[in-house]
Structure 1
Amino acid sequence: MKFLKLILDFYLNSSIHVALSCYALVQITFHVFHIQYDNAMAMFAFFGTIVGYNFVKYDALVRVKRKLIGNQLKIIAVLSFISLFLVGYYFFHLKRITQIVSVVIFFITALYTLPFFPNRRNARNWAGVKIYIVAICWVGTTLVLPLINAGIPFSSDFFIKCIQRFVLVFVLVLVFEIIDLANDDPHLQTVPQTIGVKRTKVLGLLLLIPFWVLEVFVSTFNYHDVLINLIMVLMLMLFIAFANPTRSKYYTSFWVESVPVFWWLMILLF
């Protein structure tokens, strides 16, 4: 049992799980816009998420706090370097315009982590900004890049899906912020710190209504997608309702981050 826990912790701590969620959202984009599977795009998003998330999570730990690197962190560092190499490999298989937009997303991620301005904290520590940067990066990686690389022009469906994807990630981050309330720096001014846990839950539940209703306005409207989205909305509502600061880290780092994977699996099954 200890060994299995070690494997699970490594799987989560190395950001493989969140990368799988990113991969799932890219696959959902392929499905929604009828794009033929693009391995370079999907793998670029997958390995890019591993690199980006590990950089964000462990940069401050090693560079700023100068903590000793344990064995697990050494393995994660090796995995991140391999992933970085693969990101570079798949990057050169993307279209030029996709490469340019992906570099912009990379700089937003770097801004989130590194203090570019003298005597200023990084964007991750800017009051109230974190949740928006995370949502924008996910929309860019899982929706904008696949469409640009497929050469699909922006339409009303694209903008509807951008809003939906932004709302989805925003709501998922709200659950994380509720769980992390006790550990987050008060200066971050996360949504639960600003308006309280109860109101944050109400906000998350209310945001899921337009997320689902917008599906009706998509030109490729079909009942299967509407039903699948409804199931996912109900699942998210339960995660929001039962979220509290005393929950285990696995509640968010495994179960909540699995929502995009469940969504993708439902599409495959139905």
Structure 2
Amino acid sequence: MKTIQSIFNFYLNGSIHVALAVAALVKLTFLKFEILEDNTYVYFSFVGAIVAYNFVKYATISKLYHKRLTKSMTGIKILTGACLIVFVYFAFQVSIDTLMYMIPFISLTVLYTVPVFPNKKNLRSVAGIKIFIIGVTWTGITVLIPILYAEGNLGSDMIIEIIQRFLFIVVIMLPFEIRDLQYDNKELETIPQKIGITRTKVFGSILLVFFLSLTVFKDALSFTEILTTVLITIISLLFLWGTEKKQSEYFCSFWVESIPIMWLFILVLMQSLFG
């Protein structure tokens, strides 16, 4: 039993689960816009997410992860190094344009972690912007770049999808902000720190209303798109309101991070049922 738990913890702490969530959102974009490709960018984003998240989490060890630094750190370093090699391999498989599009988002990830600003600050320590940096980065990697990678231009439906994805990512980050209330410095001025837990949930609910409402403005609107968006809105809402300051160890790190994977599963299921 301990062996299974150790493997599961390594799966979470090594950022494999969150990387699957990133890859799921990339695949979701390709399926939504019926983009046929060989999954190279999906694999590219998966290994890139492992490298990026492990860099952010472990480059400067936070209180949140300090308790988890056990023998698994060696395995995480090996995993990250192997994924970096694979990431470089896939970098030669995608176009130069795709790599150029990624530069701003890679730069945000580095600036998020490395203290390059006055008083040795990084972007994560700048008051009030942490959650929005993550939203911009995830949106860029999972929607904007995949569309440009395959299509080369943006239509109105794609712009709506970009806005929706940003709103969705901000909402699913709110449970993490609530969880981290006991760890985050007050100077960060996160949303729960500024307005409290209940108002944070109300704020997230309002964002989900906008997220759902934007669907009706899409030109290529289908029953599958409507039903899928309604279902993932309900799921996100349930997890948002089910979040507490004191929660189980895996509530955010596994269940909330599974929401993008659930979204992909729902879309595939709806497409198979209704075409």
What is the TM-score with the length of structure 1 in the denominator?
A: 0.95
Q: Distance in 2 between matches of 1:172 and 1:66?
A: 24
Partner AA of 1:257 in structure 2: E
1:119 Cα deviation from its structure 2 partner: 2.3
C-alpha distance after superposition, 1:101-124 (max 9, x if no partner): 112211110000001234231111
* Contact 1:61 1:67 survives alignment (8 Å): no
The equivalent of 1:246 in structure 2 is 246
Sort the Cα spacing of 1:228 and 1:76 in 2 relative to 1 into closer, same or farther, 3 A.
Answer: same
Superposition deviation, residue 69 in structure 1: 6.6
> Over residues 136-188 of structure 1, what are the superposed CA-to-partner deviations in whole Å (9 max), with x where a residue is unaligned?
00001001111111134111112101110000100011111112212211111
- With 186-195 and 97-106 compared, the bigger mean Cα shift is at 97-106
Contact 2:37 2:150 in 1 (8 A): no
Distance 1:115 1:38 in 2: 38
C-alpha contact 1:239 1:256 (8 A) present in aligned 2? yes
What is the match of residue 221 of structure 1? Answer: 221
AA partner of residue 31 (structure 1) = L
Counterpart of 2:138?
138
Task: Note the C-alpha offset of 1:37.
Answer: 3.1
Q: Distance in 2 between matches of 1:187 and 1:118?
A: 15
**Residue 91 (structure 2) aligns with:** 91
Distance 1:39 1:237 in 2: 30
Matches within 5 A, 1:196-207: 196-207=196-207
TM-score of the pair, normalised by structure 2 = 0.93
Equivalent residue number for residue 148 of structure 2 = 148
Change (3 A) 1:97 1:193: same
1:25·1:260 contact (CA, 8 Å) conserved in 2?
A: yes
Could you tell me whether the CA contact under 8 Å between 2:48 and 2:83 is conserved in 1?
A: yes
Q: How does 1:11-30 map to 2 (within 5 A)?
A: 11-30=11-30
| Aligned residues between the structures | 268
Q: C-alpha distance in 1, partners of 2:231/2:248?
A: 24
Asked if the contact 1:10/1:72 (under 8 Å) is kept, the reply is: yes
Q: Which residue of 2 aligns with 1:33?
A: 33
Aligned amino acid, residue 268 of structure 1:
V
Kindly provide the amino acid, as one letter, of the partner of residue 137 in structure 1: T
Rounded Cα–Cα distance in structure 2 between residues aligned with 1:137 and 1:44: 15
Corresponding residue SS for 2:267? helix
Secondary structure at the counterpart of residue 60 of structure 1: coil
Q: Aligned-pair RMSD on alpha carbons?
A: 1.8
Is 1:267 aligned to 2:267, yes or no?
Answer: yes
Q: Deviations over 1:211-250 (max 9, x none)?
A: 0111111121101111111111111111111111111131
SS in structure 1 opposite 2:36?
Answer: coil
Alignment of 1:129-208 (within 5 A): 129-208=129-208
* Compared CA separation, residues 33 and 232, structure 1 to 2 (3 A): same
Q: Distance in 1 between matches of 2:68 and 2:212?
A: 46
Q: CA deviation at 1:61?
A: 2.0
Instruction: Give me the whole-angstrom Cα distance separating, in 1, the residues matched to 2:198 and 2:68.
Output: 39
**Taking every aligned residue pair, what percent have the same amino acid on both sides?**
40
Q: Distance between the aligned counterparts of 1:114 and 1:98, measured in 2?
A: 24
Which letter does structure 2 place at the counterpart of 1:234? I
Counterpart in the other structure of 1:113: 113
Query: Which residue type is aligned with residue 169 of structure 1?
Result: I
Which runs of 5 or more structure 1 residues have no equivalent in the other structure? none
Counterparts in 2 of 1:67 and 1:27: CA distance versus 1, 3 Å = closer
Query: What amino acid maps onto 1:48 in structure 2?
Result: G
Once residues 203 and 105 of structure 1 are traced to their aligned partners in structure 2, the CA distance between those partners, rounded to angstroms, is: 26
Letter in 2 for 1:93: Q
